[in-house]
Amino acid sequence: MYRIFSSNALGLIIALPFLIVGVVAIQTTLGVLLLGIGLVLACAALFHLYKLWRFTRQFPAPGKFVDINGVPMHFMAEGPQKSQPTVVWIPGRHDSGLEMWALHKALSDHNRSIIYDRIGSGWSGINDTARTPYHEAAELYDLLQKSGEKGPYIFAGHSLGGMQATSFAQRYPESTAGVVLLDAGIADSFAYVSNFRGPKNVPGDSLLLPVMAAFGLMWFKLPKQEPEKYDQSDLGQMQLGIMAQPKSYSGWIWALNAIFDDLLSLVRMPGSLGDIPVYSVIPCGHLEDERKGVRAALPDFTDLQMENLLAIREQGRRANAALSNIGEVIIAPDGTSHNLHEEEPEYILAQVQKMFLRIADSAGEAS
C-alpha cells in the first residue's frame, strides 16, 4: 500500500478502474459517466507526470547516491574538510534535505556539511522498512559509512529529525561528536496524541494529500499557499518539484504510523547519551501563538487536552538536554516558534559554531 500511494503513477492507477468499467458499460448512462470521470482523472494524472518529467530534466539530483539495502539514497556533501567535525543536517517531519539547504550552504562556505534525503523522500528511493527514527538512524549510519565522509559528526536535527539525531547518538556514540536539537520532538508528545491521531488530528496524516499530488493539484496549491517558499528561484522550484510528488506525503503518513505503533522505541532516558555534548535549542515564542498552532493541528482537542500537550512539550524541550550528562538548554531569540531554524538561521549557525568550540575544548582537556 505504501509503495502504491508513493508512486507518481498513483493517478493512473486510480483512473484505470473508471476507464475499464466505463468502456464495458458504455451503452449505459452510468458507463458514460464513469468513462468521463476516468478520462478526466487520466488527463490530470498525465499532467502530473508531464510536470514531473519537466522537473527531472531541469533539476536532476544535485548530490550523489549510495545504495542502502538496494535503495538509492541521495546526499549532498560540500565544504572544506577541517579538523572540526562534519555537520549532518536532519529536517523535521519526513522532509527532504532541501529543507535544510540554506543552513547547509551557509555552513559549507567554511566547514564540511551534509544534507540528505531519507529513504522515501526527495530524490531517494523507497522501501518497506518501518520509518521510525531508530531505523532511519541505521540507514543514515550506512549512508555515512558508504559515502566516505569522515566522522565523528555533529548532528543538527529539527523536530522529528532531532529524535533521529538522538537515536543515532545512542546507537552509534563513537560516530557522534555532538548533537544540536532544534526544538526536537519527544516521545511523550507522540504518546499523548496517539489516541487522537487520524486525518483530522495530525497534520499530513491523510491519504488525500498523496492523491491530490498524483493528480497534479500540488503544483498549484503549494505556490498559492506559501508563495515565498515556492518562488521562481532554483531552490523554490526544486522544493516545489519534490513536494508536488505523492511520496512527500505518504512518507510522512507511514512515518507517523510506524512511530505510533512503536512508541517505546522513542523513549530516551536521562543520561543515555553519556558525555556526548547536546544543545537543546528551544523557541522563545508567545504561548498564545503556540496555542493557536496546536488548535489548528488538533481541532478536536478540548482546552484541557491542549493545555496538557503544551505543558508536555515545554517540559520535553528542556528534558532533551538531560539526555546528555553535559547537555544544555539554549533559548532562541524572542518571537521564535517551532520553525526557529528558518526564522533565525544565523542564530542556529552560531550554536553550531559554539558546539565546535566546546568539542575542541573537550579534546584539549582530554589531551
Q: What is the pLDDT of residues 289-342, one digit of tens each?
A: 778 777 777 777 788 888 888 888 888 888 899 999 999 999 999 989 889 999
pLDDT tier for residue 367 given thresholds of 50, 70 and 90: low
The total of other beta-carbon atoms located within 10 Å of residue 220's CB is 10
Q: Is 149 a residue whose pLDDT tops 50?
A: yes
Q: What is the pLDDT of residues 190-244, one digit of tens each?
A: 777 776 665 445 555 578 899 999 999 999 999 999 999 999 999 999 999 999 9
Q: What's the fold here for domain 64-188+264-366?
A: Rossmann fold (3.40.50)
Q: Report DSSP state, residue 7.
A: -
| Chain Cα centroid distance, residue 338 | 14
SS3 363: helix
Give me the pLDDT at residue 364, please.
Answer: 67
SS3 329: strand
Share of the chain above pLDDT 90, in %: 68
Domain boundaries, the chain: 2-58, 64-188+264-366
Average pLDDT (241-269) is 84
Residue 49 Cα distances to 44, 46, 84, angstroms: 9, 5, 44
Angle (CA) 214-250-48 rounded to 5° is 15
Average pLDDT (29-34) is 95
SS3 278: strand
Query: How many CA within 13 A on the CB side of residue 320?
Result: 36
Calpha distance 324→8 (Å, rounded): 42
Share of the chain above pLDDT 70, in %: 95
The total of other beta-carbon atoms located within 10 Å of residue 189's CB is 17
Calpha distance 230→187 (Å, rounded): 32
Q: Which residue has the cell 527531472?
A: 56
pLDDT tier for residue 187 given thresholds of 50, 70 and 90: confident
Give me the pLDDT at residue 198, please.
Answer: 52
| Cβ 284 vs Cβ 330: under 8 Å | no
Angle (CA) 99-103-106 rounded to 5° is 140
| Chain Cα centroid distance, residue 212 | 20
Helix (H) or strand (E) holding 30: helix 29-58
| Cβ 154 vs Cβ 88: under 8 Å | yes
Q: Across-strand partners of 75?
A: 64, 116
Q: Report DSSP state, residue 85.
A: P
- Give the lowest-confidence range in 84-98, 132-146, 301-315: 301-315
Give the mean pLDDT of the chain.
90
Give me the pLDDT at residue 295, please.
Answer: 77
pLDDT tier for residue 12 given thresholds of 50, 70 and 90: very high
Give me the pLDDT at residue 108, please.
Answer: 95
Give me the pLDDT at residue 200, please.
Answer: 47
